[in-house]
Amino acid sequence: MAILDVSYNTQEFEVRAEFDEKGRITHTCTKKICEILDKSGFVIIPHLLSDQEAKAGLKIVNDSIADPNREMSSFASQTDIRYRRRDFCPLPSTKPVISYATMLCQRLENVLGEYCGRTRQVLEISTMTSYFGSSHQYIHSDPEGVLCMFVAVDNVSPTQGGTLFVPGTHKFSGADMQYNGKVSLLMHLYQALSNFRILRYNLTNLWRIRKVVKPPILRKEFIERLFSRCFDNHQPNLARFILGKNAVFSLNFFDIFNIFRNWKAINETFRLVKTSPEKGTVILYRSDMLHAGPDNQSQSPRFFFGMSIARDIIFPKQWRDGYSPHASLLSQPISLSDLLDSHESVTNDYLSSEHQQSFMFESRI
């Protein structure tokens, strides 16, 4: 994105997966992962899954998208979802879905154990697919107290849009004492400045691609993106922006004044990093750090399998505001221990028999 200074170099945030005899991340690898996650708020773990295992996840995602009766999410951009520019949907608690989630959690057990108690709830299992013509999300943070997981079930190119992170913007004890106690102010100003640039980008890009995408952006969708009174915090909606009704992005006189006053400190303190993970890569991040889902500038869809696990007690309203659990997950909640102690393996429909052994782990009862 030309209007944002974004780094595509993610090497300092990567830890290549190493496994013990039980197929779990080793203690040495766990230590490296936790060090980066604690410092930066997110970590990238390449090669956690084999190509065959990633392919199994892609089949789960594609099967969910192909289901006309699937539940749709209540997060991301509602306008993008309504016009099929994104397809974000919670996954039902079927055997293939739970088996896949089990495999991921058991493989990452040593890492998850550092942040999430065994009794903590699985808040959401979902798919996140974006298509050409989707809008760039504003930089935001989700409800705190959650560890999120993005699984690249297919290769993600820079033009497809992985995830945008602002390293070091997560909350921890003493975080407010950084930069002479000005870190919260600087973070707010950096978020506002970046989102103003994203607003400009979305407006320019919307006009540029209005007749290029398939299906094309028709008059109704074009107007709804710009002037609709409907709730959507991730569109270049001028009406809600001018009225100050966008909960993610607003800009007032004092913000503008402080941005110019602290211009140097803002740009020296924070930076944007854009991920473009290879197939089989897993990204873990703390929900309270600043991040965003970029637009997809490619004709190829971008696929993610996602999970969110509570690190702390999550109040029901906070849970619904930030996440979209499937009705089956609400009716029969799942804890982390349910997955770690499970004997389930991915079914034959999703993984050929010669690769199933990689999903089997010893019982830890």
For 229-286, how does the pLDDT look when each residue is reduced to its tens digit (9 = 90+)? 677 888 888 887 877 788 888 888 888 999 999 999 998 889 999 999 999 999 999 9
CATH architecture of 6-356: Sandwich (2.60)
Edge-first strand listing for the sheet containing 291-292? 6-7, 272-275, 163-165, 291-292
For 35-89, how does the pLDDT look when each residue is reduced to its tens digit (9 = 90+)? 999 999 999 999 999 999 999 999 999 999 999 999 988 677 888 988 999 999 9
Amino acid identity of 4?
L
Domain boundaries along the sequence of the chain: 6-356
- Angle, helices 253-261/183-209, rounded to nearest 10 degrees: 110
For 278-310, how does the pLDDT look when each residue is reduced to its tens digit (9 = 90+)? 999 999 999 999 999 999 999 999 999 999 999
Beta strands in the chain (DSSP E): 6-7, 42-45, 86-90, 122-130, 146-151, 163-165, 272-275, 282-286, 291-292, 302-310
